[in-house]
Structure 1
Amino acid sequence: MRVLIRADASHAIGSGHIARCLTLATVLRDGGAEVAFACRELPGHLLDRLAAQGWRTYRLTAEAIGAEVDIEAALPWQADIDGLQLQLAGARFDWVIVDHYGLDHRWQTAARQWAPRIAAIDDLANRRHAVDLLLDQNFSGTPSAYAPWIDAECRGLFGPRFAMIRDEFKREPIAIRPHARRLLVNFGGFDAAGETWKAMQALEGIDGLEVDFIAGTGNPEWQRMQAMAQGRADWRLQTHTEQFAELMAQADLFIGAGGGTSWERAALGLPTISIAVAGNQQANGECMAAVGAHLYLGPREMVTVESLRQAISVLVANQGLRQSFAERSRSLVDGLGVKRVAAALAGEFMQLRAASMDDARLLFDGRTAEAVRRWSVQAQTIDWSSHLIWLASTLANPQRLLLVAEALDGPIGVLRYDLDGARAEVSIYLFEGRFGLGWGRALLNSGEGFIQRHWPQLQAIDAQVLPANQASINLFRDAGYEQADCRFERVLKDHPHD
């Protein structure tokens, strides 16, 4: 699978778009995909860093497309497409992913010249999209919010369940001490608004705290911050760090912006004072505060040095409040969001094939796994010799179809269809490591087309699920099956049989 990501970073835009796309790109590459980035050469771009990390990069001349402007300002989309045409030189991809507030449905439609599938990452819900998949990992991203902006056929991935967290943030929860002693301050990769300086002023009058300030490259207040930090052995000031996850894991309290780092903090259970440094962060900051996941002080223009100092003083001494923030925030994010997004992308190109006797061990291990057998309608113990007899019989049965699904990084799961006239009953299971990521839906979608070509007379698919198997119940509901007690039915629409 080949993927092109279109995103920008700059002093005005920040580094958040590239950061979350890089998290996704890493998981896609680990799964066998080829991933490239296309970015404008704006002041503060990250193209050199991406290239140094081994990513293929396409450099777009900022002057020809649009210079650095407000992060939500529309770009001249045709110029952007023209710039890509020069750079890509006829290259083809399976997906184009765009994470950019300035590019809308016109750019997305034109980008189909390079890929059959287009995905967008968004958190504004304020412009039309022409995509096959849309991701908004924030609380404010809901189906109703995007209903006016996407087609009914577009698949939506909404909410913190899809928060794209890097592996280094999936670790033991932070211990909540009686009194906070260590703080971490960061307002993004650039902090063009200078909020780190405000936090430093707020902390100046509070003794007994060890503080790490990650100020962001090109910070406008860098000289004043250096001067204030001099002589403070308990303050450490730097523009960038490769140990950000470690610093977060060691901190008792975080002060920062409401962007993508919100979900990394949530995964760790790191109590946070959040300030929105951009308009697109406000709704999510309010939503997280409403469910008790952090202390949100509002947009940066409304937060004074004194109000921030008071908030810090309250949280430093209040273990119960910090504990509550930690528990609630960790309940929102399980760390698997980026794998769910990757599965949604890779699932479109998953391969199905008929099983053979060469798959005997693979199928046996899958059928006998505790997580599978527990929810099987026929849950009796299976021995190896019985399995071989069953498999041989299954493969010789013209009324039964056994399929193995595979992605670039290995087998995904198994589908079995039993034909009865114009209907077929489906059984499904996933292999270890594939649970809870959305692969089941991809299997059902691919299997539906496969069996309609194999059995053109088919009119409906049935499924039977144990009453307590909520995961399978949700799976069949989401796949469009109609439920009657613990049985499900999917009436098939016309499908091409060639």
Structure 2
Amino acid sequence: MRVLIRADASPIIGSGHIARCLTLARALREQGVHVAFACRLLVGHRLHALTAEGFETFALPDLYRGEDPQQAIESLLPWQADIDALEQALAERPGFDWVIVDHYGLDQRWQTAARRFAPRIMALDDLATRTYSADLLLNQNLSGTQAAYEGLLPEHCRTLLGPRYALLRDEFRCGAIEIKKKVRRVLVNFGGFDAAMQTHHAMLALVAYPELEVDFVAGADNPAWARMQRMAASRPHWRLHSFVSDFHQLMLEADLFIGAGGGTSWERAAMGLPTICIAVSNNQQANSDVMATFGAHVYLGCRESVTVEQLRQAIGFVVDNQGLRQSLAQHSRQLVDGLGALRVAVALAGALLRVRPATRADARLLFEGRNAEVVRRVSLDQSPVDWDRHCQWLQASLVNPQRLLLVGEASDGPVGVLRYDLQGSEALVSIYLFKNRLGLGWGRALLARGEAFATVHWPQLRSFTAQILPANQASLALFRQAGFGQGTCVFTRVLKEEIHE
């Protein structure tokens, strides 16, 4: 599979779009996907860093004809000029399976035109204010709900909504940090550029707390860099960083975070790191507000309305309040499990998932998959299957015209197994995933591919039926999402053991 990501970074745009796309790109690469980035040559474009990580990159012009270089982050770009530049950059290159666009300035007209580069379009969004021409839409924020996108998406578009899909790096699949009785160490970061100089404002507020150790992370291009250097030089407990190679380690060592409402919101939530949040752009306000309502952080509002004195008072309130910080940590960790990037990668790869009929050569694969404890626990027959019994069952299944046994395969190996048993014009379906594929969304893709295969194999099919144990909440949710309607309960009393799987 080949994926092209279109995103930009600059002091106005920030670096968050590239950062979260890079996390997704790494997850895709682990699945054997070729990922390329197309970025404009803006100040702070990050193309060199992407190339250094081994990704193919395409440089687009820094400015299009008639464009205002100081336009707001949410202003639309000249979409046709961007498409033309991309077409020139991609000339004589192989096509892509997906184009991923993470850009507030590229709307549905760009998305429609970009289908010349790939048959499928994925959009990353935080706003829910425009129409989209996409096959897959990701909004990882709490404010990204199905209702928010009513009337904005094509009917076929699949949505990945909420922090379950937050694009976090692998290191954030970690345990909670310790909530100490009193805050000793603070970490301050307002993004890679911090054009609003909120890091400097935080310094002014933290002057009142000389006992705190503070790490300030702000790029050397920060407009207030010289002033911050002077302030930090006279305070032995302060450290000013222009670059850190392991930001995650600084987060682990911190007791309190002061920062913006962008992508690091979910990193902090995954760690249970108590946070005082200030939105530095319009697109951060809605999610920051909802997270505060959920009890996941202390939100002071948008930067224009937050004074240094207000921030100073908030710091004093949180530093001495262990109960509040424990509550913030507990509520924030309920939102994120750190597997979001893998789930999004699966949604992309699932569109190209292949299913094939099982063969005798699959005997060991199916045997180990069916006997996995996590599979048996939710099966109608939970007893282990012995090898001889399994081989008899497989041989009988392969020659049974009323049974269809399918194996789903992704680019990096097998995913799961589907079994269909034909009863007139109805097929009884059962599914299991291999244990390393659980909880990531492969089941939905496997069911969709299997259904398409089965309806071609048996043209007389009119419906599918599944029997699910009431305690198997994951499968119940899967079949509901796949369009199955839940009927009446079925009661069964087993009189004797049968040979089946």
Q: What's the CA shift for 1:217?
A: 4.1
Q: What does 1:202-241 correspond to in 2, within 5 Å? A: 202-241=205-244
Q: Which runs of 5+ in 1 are unaligned?
A: 488-498
Q: 1:71 aligns with which of 61, 70, 73?
A: 73
Deviations 1:326-353 (A, max 9, x none): 0110011011111111111000001111
Given candidates 376, 381, 402, the residue that maps to 2:379 is: 376
CA distance in 1 between counterparts of 2:340 and 2:70 reads 31
TM-score (norm 2): 0.96
CA RMSD between the two structures: 1.0
Tell me the amino acid that sits aligned with residue 251 of structure 2.
M
The answer as to 2:218 corresponding to 1:195 is no
Length, aligned pairs only: 487
Residue identity matched to 1:44: G
Report the alpha carbon displacement of residue 486 of structure 1 after superposing the two structures with TM: 4.6
Out of 425, 450, 455, the residue aligned to residue 453 of structure 2 is 450
Determine the structure 2 residue equivalent to 1:38: 38
Counterpart CA distance in 2 for 1:204 and 1:271 is: 20
Q: Which moved more, 1:128-137 or 1:392-401?
A: 392-401
Q: Could you say what secondary structure the match of 2:299 adopts?
A: strand
1:58 aligned residue: 58
Offset, 1:124:
0.4
**Other-structure match for 1:356:** 359
Instruction: Say if 2:56 is the partner of 1:83.
Output: no
* Aligned pairs (5 A) from 1:412-431: 412-431=415-434
Q: Report the counterpart of residue 496 of structure 1 in structure 2.
A: none
Does the 8 A contact of 1:17 with 1:100 survive in 2?
yes
1:292 aligns with 2:299: no
Q: How far has the Cα of 1:85 moved from its partner?
A: 0.7
- Which amino acid in the other structure matches residue 77 of structure 2? L
Residue deviations 1:450-494, cap 9 Å, x none? 01111111111111111111111111000001110357xxxxxxx
> What residue in structure 2 maps to residue 127 of structure 1?
130
Query: 1:240 Cα shift?
Result: 1.7
Q: Which residue of 1 aligns with 2:493?
A: none
Q: 1-side partners of 2:482 and 2:410: how far apart?
A: 20
Answer yes or no: is the 8 Å Cα contact 1:465–1:486 preserved in 2.
no
* Fraction of identical pairs, as percent: 62
Aligned partner of 1:79: which letter? A
Q: Secondary structure, in 3 states, of the residue corresponding to 2:409?
A: strand
Distance 2:177 2:404 in 1: 49
Aligned counterparts of 1:334 and 1:265: Cα–Cα separation in 2: 11
Question: 2:164 and 2:241 mapped to 1: Cα distance?
Answer: 32
| Counterpart in the other structure of 1:15 | 15
* Aligned mates of 2:36, 2:84 — CA distance in 1: 18
TM-score scaled by length of structure 1: 0.96
Amino acid at match of 1:55: F
Structure 2 counterpart of 1:444, one-letter code: L
TM-superposed deviation, 1:323: 0.4
Partners of 1:217 and 1:398 in 2: CA distance: 69
5 Å-filtered alignment, 1:127-206, equals 127-206=130-209
Shift of 1:171: 1.4
Q: Which moved more, 1:164-173 or 1:472-481?
A: 164-173
| Residues 440-459 of structure 1: CA deviation (Å, up to 9, x unaligned) | 11011000100111111111
Q: CA deviation at 1:374?
A: 0.8
SS at match of 2:466: strand
Residue in structure 2 matched with residue 490 of structure 1 by the alignment: none
Match of 1:302 in 2: 305
The one-letter code matched in structure 2 to 1:69 is Q
Mark the CA change 1:282 to 1:461 in structure 2 (over 3 Å): closer, same or farther: same
Contact 1:187 1:216 in 2 (8 A): no
The 1:114/1:486 distance shift into structure 2, 3 A limit, reads farther
> Is the contact between residue 96 and residue 117 of structure 2 (CA under 8 Å) also seen in structure 1?
yes
Contact 2:64–2:78, Cα closer than 8 Å, also in 1: no
Native 8 Å contact 2:210 2:237 kept in 1: no
From the superposition, tell whether residues 486 and 83 of structure 1 become closer, same or farther in structure 2 (CA, over 3 Å): farther
Encode CA deviations 1:291-337: one digit per residue, 9 max, x unaligned.
10000000001111111011111111111100000011001101111
Q: How many Å separate the matches in 2 of 1:156 and 1:293?
A: 24
Q: 1:307 to 1:396 in 2, by over 3 A?
A: same
1:168-217 CA-to-partner distances (Å, cap 9, x unmatched) read 11112100000000100000011111000000010012121111000134
Q: Secondary structure at the match of 1:115?
A: coil
- Quick check: 1:99–1:121 contact (8 Å CA) kept in 2? yes
Q: Deviations over 1:127-167 (max 9, x none)?
A: 11000000000011011101121112110111111111111
In the alignment, the residues of structure 1 paired with residue 412 and residue 129 of structure 2 have an alpha-carbon distance, to the nearest angstrom, of: 37
Deviation, structure 1 residue 90: 4.2
Matched-pair contact (CA < 8 Å) for 1:90–1:114: no
Contact 2:38/2:57 (CA < 8 Å) preserved in 1? Answer: yes
Preserved contact between residue 162 and residue 337 of structure 1 (Cα < 8 Å): yes
How far 1:68 sits from its partner (Å)? Answer: 5.0
Distance 1:25 1:68 in 2: 29
User: 1: distance between equivalents of 2:489 and 2:375?
Assistant: 18
| Structure 2 residue matching 1:86: 3-state secondary structure | helix
In 1, Cα distance between equivalents of 2:428 and 2:489? 13
Residue 87 of structure 1 aligns with an amino acid whose one-letter code is: A
Moved more, 41-50 or 19-28: 41-50
Partner of 1:47: 47
CA distance in structure 1 between the partners assigned to 2:165 and 2:488 by the alignment: 30
Q: Which amino acid aligns with 2:268?
A: R
CA distance in 2, matches of 1:254, 1:342: 29
1:381 CA displacement: 2.1
Alpha-carbon separation, structure 1, partners of 2:220 and 2:272: 27
| Distance change (3 Å), C-alpha of 1:58 and 1:486 | farther
- Aligned match for 2:113, one of 110, 114, 120: 110
SS of the equivalent of 2:351 reads helix
Structure 2: distance between partners of 1:260 and 1:23:
11
2:332 equivalent to 1:329: yes
Summarize deviations over 1:341-377 as a string: whole Å, max 9, x none: 1111000001111111111111111101111111111
Kindly provide the amino acid, as one letter, of the partner of residue 329 in structure 1.
S
Alpha-carbon displacement from aligned partner over 1:205-264 (angstroms, at most 9, x marks no partner) = 212111100013410000000000003221110122111001001100000000010000
